[in-house]
Amino acid sequence: MTLQNRRVLLVIGGGIAAYKVLELIRRLRDEGARVRCVMTAAAAEFVTPLSVATLSADRVFTNLFDRNDEHDVGHIRLSREADLIVVAPATADLMAKAATGAANDLARAVLLASNKPVLMAPAMNPLMWSAAPTRRNHATLLADGVQFVGPKSGAMAEAGEAGEGRMAEPAEILAAIVEQLAPARPLSGKTFIVTSGPTHEPIDPVRYIANRSSGKQGHAIAAALAKLGAEVRLISGPVSITDPAGVTTTHVETARQMLAAVESALPADGAVFVAAVADWRVDSVAVDKIKKQPGTGTVPSLSMVENPDILATIGHHAQRPKLVVGFAAETRDVVANGEAKLRRKGADLIVANDVSAGGGAMGGDRNKVTLLSAAGAEAWPELDKLEVAERLAMVIAARLNGEPPR
């Protein structure tokens, strides 16, 4: 367990995202951490102290003037006994008071009295996050050495509201905690190439051939490898998500551009090909928009040619990385087709997943994969894509460091 006996003091702020903290506590304890929790009065409006106490297997601290705790200056003791203080959700109010040094309740007193690192996971309405006072408070806290994870972009609890302000998911917060407390970096000194997203193959100036890939899985894998110490070059097709932190990203559109970018990044220790590359393109892109001819019944004919197979090209390349990992997006016979791809394309590992309609893998946040290698097939349970990325990164690190293959 990566956090065995490490002590985390979790300060729970008052926001709807507080419900996610219950999952974070479970994950922390699964990793061996000892978790103590401080709740603000507002936090207790969203999750109960009983739930928090049950999951943390410890009492919950709520009152700065508790006669049972403060006889020995309990807020000082809480702040000093922890290895790391995590604030989640870090509301706009909590950030503001922390930035100004206010200490009018237990949560703020703990933060002000601490000599331990602090990690905050902001959560608030997008307009609150982008407001000038919040930006000033964020900058102040950064200058004071506070670390942040998130916020993320997405839909808000308020109907019709969306933007940057969602609290990072428990898996992301856990990864940030692990990076703070157990910075095992088994891929330090290693270089990786990762491809992600779709490719767009133009038909004319306004139309193209593409697929539903969001890039979420590829970007998550690039970030997971970087957190293990790797130097990562991400080659991304057109996506709407942000570039992962700590990764050098090159943006391309077509399969041929992606292959050129991959080859220019060689040599590398490893390569993970997650991108859903279009198999075909038109052999001649129209200079002008192809116009309909109403009433004639005429439908334009597209002559197609095959795109380069990036995985196979690198799998048999003169500068082939030591470890080559591919993805097999299948709608039937997932394992059989993945095993055939493993043999045919010169990969060491294939991550096979079902992308049939209704499965939610394409564009969704979760994935159910089977890891294929010469040693056999290992089916993983359905996981958040971030969790898939973390597990795969650890498998990759183990193989590159000479541990028994999986």
Whether the model pTM is above 0.75: no
Of residues 403 and 173, the one with the higher pLDDT is: 173
Tokens for 374, please give them: 């010469």
- Which tens digits make up the pLDDT trace of 296-326? 878 888 999 999 999 999 999 999 999 999 9
Tell me what pLDDT residue 360 has. 54
Residues 236, 197: Cα–Cα separation, whole Å: 6
Residues 2, 182: Cα–Cα separation, whole Å: 6
Residues 6+ apart with CB under 8 A from 84: 6, 7, 8, 9, 116, 117, 118, 119, 177, 180, 181
211 counts as catalytic: yes
Instruction: Return residue ranges of the chain for CATH 3.40.50.1950.
Output: 7-181
Which of 104, 115, 125, 211 is flagged as catalytic? 211
Tell me what pLDDT residue 133 has. 94
Find the mean pLDDT for residues 239-256: 94
Tell me what pLDDT residue 114 has. 82
Residues 170, 178: Cα–Cα separation, whole Å: 12
Closest by CA to 91, choosing from 159, 40, 15, 165, is: 15
Find the mean pLDDT for residues 192-212: 96
Tell me what pLDDT residue 346 has. 95
Residues 278, 212: Cα–Cα separation, whole Å: 11
Tell me what pLDDT residue 108 has. 85
For residue 62, report the phi and psi dihedrals to the nearest 5 degrees.
-130, -25
Q: Say yes or no to pLDDT of 159 above 70.
A: no
For residue 350, report the phi and psi dihedrals to the nearest 5 degrees.
-125, 130
Mean pLDDT of the chain, nearest integer: 89
Instruction: Return residue ranges of the chain for CATH 3.40.50.10300.
Output: 191-400
- Which tens digits make up the pLDDT trace of 334-388? 999 999 999 999 999 999 998 875 655 666 788 899 999 999 999 999 888 988 9
Q: pLDDT exceeding 70 applies to what percent of the chain?
A: 92
Most confident region among 26-30, 158-162, 249-253, 333-337 by mean pLDDT = 249-253
What's the pLDDT band for 71 if we cut at 50, 70, 90?
very low
What's the pLDDT band for 173 if we cut at 50, 70, 90?
very high
**Which of 132-146, 192-206, 300-314 has the least mean pLDDT?**
132-146
Whether 179 contacts 227, CB under 8 Å = yes
Tell me what pLDDT residue 218 has. 96
Feature table: binding site for CTP: 279, 289, 308-311, 327, 341, 345
**Count of other CB atoms within 10 angstroms of residue 290:** 13
* CATH topology assigned to domain 7-181: Rossmann fold (3.40.50)
* CATH topology assigned to domain 191-400: Rossmann fold (3.40.50)
Tell me what pLDDT residue 70 has. 46
Label the pairing between strands 369-373 and 349-354.
antiparallel
Q: Say yes or no to pLDDT of 138 above 50.
A: yes
**Which of 44-58, 93-107, 156-170, 217-231 has the least mean pLDDT?**
156-170
- Which tens digits make up the pLDDT trace of 175-188? 889 888 876 688 99
Tokens for 138, please give them: 């964020």
Tell me what pLDDT residue 73 has. 42
**Which of 66-75, 82-91, 200-209 has the least mean pLDDT?**
66-75
